[in-house]
């Protein structure tokens, strides 16, 4: 049994650690655009690397779903390991999605039959292990937009909508609740209502408010048992 720590507990143990903001959301919700704007202002902003397996997954989801998710998780975990050791980062610093968002797609792909129970169990075990052993974000920013807007952006950028945003939304909703249950604050922003300049100011204002507050209201940390590799979860 491992006692999971909240961001507040981690900051008490390491008060000089830069304030970490993880920006999550569906494809085309505006994550990269906001991170580019923050980087232009001089902040440390790490974006997700391209997943070389993803084009193969788009062509043949049944064959490449598991390989795609394993490769994505490994890439993001390696980046988070490097972040722990990296010096000279700004305070706050920003990260795109990270390991957090992989659970959304793991669950979704399992529920539509593209991952077996054993494959999902393996991915979920690694996700839970990561969540209780790696530093958690001080703040998660969830960017979202209406389904029609997500589709419009995806078609304009990629020419295709890889995942149905309406089908994925319940998985995002579940993840946000679980993050808050872990004691991780979540800040929701509709990017269809706010241009990128306003969105980044909203994020920075929220960060300043949290950094200056000496009395943050957080939930109690969860006590987790690692699931067996054969365990599964569905919505």
pLDDT in tens, 95-128: 998 898 899 999 999 999 999 999 999 999 999 9
Position 27 scores a pLDDT of 86
pLDDT tens for residues 204-221? Answer: 999 999 998 844 444 444
Average pLDDT on 183-199 reads 95
Collapse the DSSP code of 184 into the 3-class scheme (helix H, G, I; strand E, B; otherwise coil) and give the result: coil
101 against 8, higher pLDDT: 101
Token pair in block for residue 80:
């988070």
* Domain chopping of the chain, boundaries: 18-210
Give just the sign of the alpha carbon dihedral 90, 95, 99, 103.
positive
CB 221 within 8 A of CB 3: yes
**Do strands 2-3 and 223-224 pair parallel, antiparallel, or not at all (unpaired)?**
antiparallel
Q: Across the chain, what does the average pLDDT equal?
A: 85
What are the residues whose beta carbons fall under 8 Å from the beta carbon of 101, sequence distance 6 or more? 24, 175
The CB density around residue 188, as the number of other CB atoms within 10 Å, is 11
For domain 18-210, is the CATH number 3.30.70.1050? no
Position 125 scores a pLDDT of 96
pLDDT tens for residues 21-54? Answer: 999 999 889 999 999 999 999 999 999 989 999 9
The share of the chain scoring above pLDDT 70, in percent, equals 84
């Amino acid at each position: 049994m491992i006692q999971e720590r909240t961001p507040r507990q981690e900051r008490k143990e390491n008060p000089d650690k830069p304030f970490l903001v993880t920006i999550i959301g569906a494809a085309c919700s505006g994550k990269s655009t906001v991170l580019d704007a923050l980087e232009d202002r001089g902040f440390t902003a790490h974006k997700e690397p391209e997943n070389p397996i993803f084009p193969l997954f788009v062509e043949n989801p049944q064959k490449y779903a598991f390989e795609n998710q394993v490769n994505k998780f490994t890439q993001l975990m390696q980046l988070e390991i490097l972040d722990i050791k990296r010096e000279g980062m700004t305070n706050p610093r920003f990260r795109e999605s990270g390991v957090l968002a992989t659970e959304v797609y793991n669950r979704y792909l399992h529920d539509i039959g593209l991952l077996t129970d054993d494959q999902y169990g393996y991915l979920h075990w690694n996700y839970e292990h990561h969540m209780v052993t790696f530093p958690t974000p001080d703040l998660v920013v969830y960017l979202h937009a209406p389904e029609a807007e997500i589709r419009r952006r995806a078609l304009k950028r990629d020419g295709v909508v890889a995942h149905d945003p309406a089908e994925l939304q319940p998985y995002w909703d579940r993840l946000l609740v679980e993050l808050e249950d872990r004691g991780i604050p979540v800040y929701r922003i509709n990017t269809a209502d706010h241009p990128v300049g306003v969105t980044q100011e909203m994020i920075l204002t929220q960060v300043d408010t949290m950094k200056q507050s000496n009395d943050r209201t957080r939930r109690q940390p969860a006590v987790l048992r690692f699931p067996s590799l054969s365990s599964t979860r569905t919505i």
